[in-house]
Structure 1
Amino acid sequence: MNLIREVRTHRRLPAPDDARSIRERAGVSQARLADELGVHRVTVARWESGTRQPRGALRLAYARLLLRLEEVSA
């Protein structure tokens, strides 16, 4: 069932504005989030502006991280 969980998480990627709000509510900078995911801060800025979207394993990691941030900042 791990595959099903991954697919659900993959599809749960919030809208760019929502992703930014989740990060900000958690008190996390774009740079810190980027470090956690192993990408550049500009990459996170592009995701949050909606000009780009993460793909593949990175999309899954981003979705999971946002979900955890949302849980701890609620």
Structure 2
Amino acid sequence: MKLVEEVRTGRQLPPPDVARSIRLAAGVSQSRLARELGVHRLTVARWESGTRRPCGEQRASYVRLLARLHREVTR
């Protein structure tokens, strides 16, 4: 991932409680979100609790997926 993209996705990453709210509003489980991103469910749980933050490509994928889910639930 290029530096500028990494900075951009870092700014776009919502706070953990907002990310969790987006997922719940879309009716998606942590397990399903984790499968989509290719990570373990506990990884998603840690991101949503704020104990960990996604990095690199995982961050970019997570930001894109949350943005798509948010668009779908706000249509």
TM-score of the pair, normalised by structure 2:
0.87
Provide the secondary structure at the position in 2 that maps to 1:51.
coil
| Alpha-carbon distance in 2 for matches of 1:15, 1:59 | 13
Moved over 4 A (4+): none
Match of 1:13 in 2: 13
Aligned pair count reads 71
Structure 1 unaligned blocks of 5 or more: none
Letter in 2 for 1:19: A
Q: Which residue does 1:42 correspond to in 2?
A: 42
State the TM-score, normalized to the length of structure 1. Answer: 0.88
Deviation at 1:52, TM superposition (A): 0.1
1:67 paired residue number: 67
User: Where do 5+ consecutive residues of structure 2 fail to align?
Assistant: none
Measure the CA separation in 2 of the matches of 1:64 and 1:9: 9
- CA-based RMSD of the aligned residues comes to 1.4
